[in-house]
């Protein structure tokens, strides 16, 4: 047997099954199709958190009365700095000056977090502004977990006191 003939036999052994699959193989003739009115939606996997469990930002009236329940300890401030880095730094920058890489493209520009206007807000008002202020709604209310929110408020207070920005 010559090498040329072996190559042709191998080629035929590869092409014939491919052609069979092409013309006889599955054609997606039977596809289950579920319409909204035909069947109930499957149950969600275990551990899924329902959307209606969202902890909303306080209303303006509620916000005025809220105070930060956390003490300004070194550990809490460090956690606040970490959470600030996760959720705020991209827009407000490392020093809270509104010079983050994403924030530079926003109109209006991100708030200057060390400004007297921002720092004059009560803790609750700062929390509300953080979650629902211009450029934040509706995303941050859903993105920042309730367990992280007061740490960020605590860090923002400390950020305003520092000269180097944290």
Peptide bond into 165 cis (omega under 30): no
Residue 126 and residue 40: Cα distance in Å, rounded? 43
Question: Crossing angle of helices 146-161/123-132, nearest 10°?
Answer: 110
Spell out a b/e string for 43-61, using b for 16 or more CB atoms within 10 Å of the CB, else e. eeeeeeeeeeeeeebbeee
Domain boundaries, the chain: 57-161
The pLDDT tens digits along the chain (166 residues) read 788 889 989 888 888 888 877 777 666 666 667 676 777 777 888 888 766 656 788 889 999 999 999 999 999 999 999 999 999 999 999 999 888 998 888 888 888 999 999 999 999 999 999 988 877 766 788 889 999 999 999 999 999 887 655 5
Top-tier CATH class for 57-161: mainly alpha
- Yes or no: say if 165 and 97 are a contact pair by the CB < 8 Å rule: yes
Task: Please tell me whether the overall predicted TM-score, pTM, comes out greater than 0.75 for this model.
Answer: no
């Amino acid at each position: 047997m010559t090498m040329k003939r072996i190559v042709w036999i191998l080629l035929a052994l590869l092409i014939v099954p491919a052609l069979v699959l092409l013309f006889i193989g599955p054609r997606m003739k039977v596809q289950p199709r579920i319409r909204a009115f035909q069947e109930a939606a499957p149950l969600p996997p275990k551990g899924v958190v329902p959307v209606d469990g969202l902890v909303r930002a306080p209303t303006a009236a509620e916000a005025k009365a809220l105070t930060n329940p956390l003490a300004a300890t070194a550990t809490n401030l460090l956690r606040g700095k970490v959470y600030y880095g996760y959720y705020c730094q991209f827009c407000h920058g490392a020093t809270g000056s509104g010079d983050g890489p994403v924030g530079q493209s926003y109109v209006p520009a991100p708030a200057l977090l060390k400004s007297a206007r921002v720092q004059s807000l009560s803790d609750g008002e700062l929390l509300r502004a953080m979650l629902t202020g211009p450029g934040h709604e509706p995303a941050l209310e859903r993105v920042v977990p309730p367990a992280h929110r007061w740490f960020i408020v605590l860090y923002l207070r400390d950020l305003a006191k520092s000269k180097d920005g944290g």
